[in-house]
Amino acid sequence: DTLFAGIDIAAGDASPDNFMGIVFNEHEAGYLAGIVAGLMTKDYASASDKLNDDNVIGVVLGMFIPPVEKFEVGFIVGAKSVNPDIEVLSATAGDFVDQAKGKELALAMIEQGADIIFHAAGLTGLGAINACKEEGILAIGVDVDQNAVAPDTVLTSAEKKIVQATYLAVESAVNGTFMPGTRVFGINEDAVG
């Protein structure tokens, strides 16, 4: 009689009838973040001391797994949709908890002209944000609003709204509309943004 929902877990063929797997359209949030980065570095470089004229941005990844890959692809496509000539640097740390590695990767991108760095790297990404703060450029956070980490550095965040997805799963259980299997949440459900 108990219903279960798992975040970032797709329901497989052997999943029980009382299990909802919740996955996200991370590429939608990444796309929006890419639009912001692409427009900022293109149109506002002369108006901000945190931007340059190089037209280069970067993305630091934790591990190359499907949700992270979706953030990256969305980010690149979003940036290029508003700034076709932009160069997007990308590096993978191979870890979600190595802040030193995140900082190292971000610093390498900054040396190559990046003035905005997005991360999809968990705690590793905090190192990237710290590098951006120290070097006086902008960062874009991930999963939750990370502005509080570095208010003068974090421009925005590509959010995966786990609370909203959880609410929708609980609401479906309460309303008797719970559907087992994999449920995909995105912009239409206000579960990414």
pLDDT of residue 188: 97
For residues 115-144, one letter each, b for 16 or more C-beta atoms within 10 angstroms of the residue's C-beta and e for the rest, the string is bbbbbbbbebbbbbbbbbbebebbbbbbbe
Give me the amino acid identity at 143: D
pTM (predicted TM-score): 0.94
Give me the amino acid identity at 141: G
| pLDDT, average across residues 65-76 | 96
Q: Is the pLDDT of residue 12 over 90?
A: no
Distances in whole angstroms, Cα of residue 81 to Cα of each of 38, 72, 139, 178: 8, 14, 20, 37
Q: Is the pLDDT of residue 54 over 90?
A: yes
Mean per-residue pLDDT of the chain: 96
pLDDT of residue 185: 96
Q: What is the pLDDT of residues 164-174, one digit of tens each?
A: 999 999 999 99
- 179 three-state secondary structure: coil
Q: Is the pLDDT of residue 161 over 90?
A: yes
What is the C-alpha to C-alpha distance for residues 127 and 189, in angstroms, rounded to an integer? Answer: 31
pLDDT of residue 13: 87
Q: Is the pLDDT of residue 127 over 90?
A: yes
Q: What is the pLDDT of residues 15-47, one digit of tens each?
A: 999 999 999 999 999 999 999 999 999 999 989
